[in-house]
Amino acid sequence: MPDTTDSPAVEVLRADRVDLVRGGRDLLRGVDLTVRAGEHWTLLGPNGAGKSTLLGLLGAVTHPTRGTVRVLGRQLGRVDVRALRAAIGHVNPRHPLQSPLTVREVVLTGVTSTIDLVPRWTPTTEQERDADELLDVLGIGAIRDARWPDLSQGERGRALIARALMPRPRLLLLDEPTTGLDVAAREQLLTGLDELRAEHPDLASVLVTHHLEEIPASSTHAVLLRDGEVVASGAIDEVLTTERVSACFGHPIRVARLDGRFVARAQPGRSLTDRRGR
């Protein structure tokens, strides 16, 4: 499981005045972000805000045009990103697996960072034990022998989180992990994330979504992004307010918490201009 030798105050990610330009277009502008061990950040904003783009920088998939990004203490541009990526758990709900692997085998591919099983590779007893432990924590231990094509989207999502955690990363990145899930599957996955975070208190995570209802109750911090710029950043209860979320999405949205989870409702009959004028 994740390395727990670090103090919760240890810096895992830092982005300083980051710009990203592609094809003459500014995708990110002046982004600052610091994530420490044990913190669980949510990147929230409308479609096209730059959430997945920022996640790609934090996961050492892309490099900034200007500014600096430090991941696990190493600066992008001055480190072999292949070695760096091996220390990051990245969950992609569009996992391109075609083979009928079992759930347990899918999780074990996280050791080799491959889509399929490596020929003639055999996991160690410890790796098999870790896989089984993760499956149990995420609530899918009972289906460890089920085949990938037979799984629901929710079961696949939890299997991919377990897979991402096999290399014992200090950082977990989740790009819209509830995409395509029905309500029951979404709730099972979010509950699994809450339980996982409780089991591994030094793990840091960053989750991308554009729905407040998809934010796990265990989330600690948030960033609001709009048009590639940070609208607000910090402790989640200070960032995800009615005023700030409304400004970010350009529409009056009432934000509340129910049983520890965020909910959002449009405010009928009130425009954002009306709210600003009061």
Q: Tokens 């074990």 identify what position?
A: 108
pLDDT at 5: 44
- Percent with pLDDT over 90 in the chain: 56
| pLDDT above 70 (res 209) | yes
- Percent with pLDDT over 70 in the chain: 93
Query: Which residues of the chain form CATH 3.40.50.300?
Result: 1-87+169-278
**Adjacent-strand bridge partners of 16:** 68
pLDDT at 16: 95
Alpha helices in 93-252 (DSSP H): 103-112, 125-137, 153-165, 183-199, 236-239, 242-249
| pLDDT above 80 (res 182) | yes
Tens digit of pLDDT for each residue in 125-175? 999 999 999 999 888 999 999 999 999 888 998 899 999 989 888 899 999
Q: Residue 85 — pLDDT band, cuts 50, 70, 90?
A: confident
Q: What is the mean pLDDT of residues 32-41?
A: 95
Q: What is the mean pLDDT of residues 90-95?
A: 82
Q: What is the mean pLDDT of residues 65-70?
A: 94
Between the alpha carbon of residue 120 and those of residues 123, 127, 130, 145, 157, the distances in Å are 10, 16, 20, 20, 27
Rounded to two decimals, the pTM is 0.85
pLDDT at 271: 55
CATH number of 1-87+169-278: 3.40.50.300
What does pLDDT average to over the chain?
Answer: 88
pLDDT at 7: 44
| pLDDT above 70 (res 9) | no
Kindly write down the DSSP assignment for every residue of 37-79, as one continuous string.
Answer: TT-EEEEE-STTSSHHHHHHHHTTSS--SEEEEEETTEETTSS
Q: What is the mean pLDDT of residues 74-83?
A: 82
| pLDDT above 80 (res 217) | yes
| pLDDT above 50 (res 4) | no
pLDDT at 275: 46
